[in-house]
Structure 1
């Protein structure tokens, strides 16, 4: 099942296109090569199909979880290793936070327009 291109879906897709490079850089910084590959695949699929499929929604949740450091703290994850390298004083940290917040805002807007739940974060807003 695909979601029609509501205004919020269009804006989400536009956000992903405009911030394509920043999202890829963030995914690599926080998830290494696997995070980068998943993000590239997601953005490529969404920009070519322009449809928010069930798989794309799941991958968007995964991207948000990567950017929001959900898996940091688990000793055997690449996310923990990547995060350990970051300097909290580096200006990139603020950029990562803003990018993550903007992605969440767009995902929340899609959710608000939907009749049925679209994204399942499993976390409180």
Structure 2
């Protein structure tokens, strides 16, 4: 059908500004499957306005990956590479800050969308 562009939000701007860092962090922790997921998120986000469905779920999953302490997961999606990152490395702190900023901005945007008439029973639960 028609591709209707959405007004960029703080989340859009943050993800665009930090797209390389997000891809690098996702690959470092989760390997190629997570790199592909982040790249798909980067492709879809500019076209999608709602954070209440798939986009919100993907951002939530990405945040969970970035904040995982040992790189393991109940799923078999490749979250195993973190063991190769030195816990004392500055990279770990940088990923933590990136994850925290992403989550704060996502939560604020998500709350704004709910206030504007989103259905709280739909999509992610934060």
TM over 0.5: yes
CA deviation string 1:76-120 (max 9, x = no partner):
7532x2121110111111100110000011111123322344642
Check the 8 A contact 2:30/2:71 in 1, yes or no: no
What TM-score does the superposition give when structure 1 sets the normalisation length?
A: 0.77
For these two proteins, the number of residue pairs brought into alignment is 113
Structure 2 counterparts to residues 35-114 of structure 1, below 5 A: 35-47=34-46, 49-52=47-50, 54-69=53-68, 72-74=71-73, 77=76, 78-79=78-79, 81-113=80-112, 114=114
Unaligned runs of 5+ in 1: none
What TM-score does the superposition give when structure 2 sets the normalisation length?
A: 0.77
Unaligned runs of 5+ in 2: 1-5
| Local SS of the residue matching 1:45 | helix
In the TM superposition, structure 1's runs of 4+ consecutive aligned residues that sit over 3 Å from their partners are 70-77, 116-119
The residue that corresponds to 1:32 in the other structure is 31
The structure whose residues are more often helix, as a share, is: 1
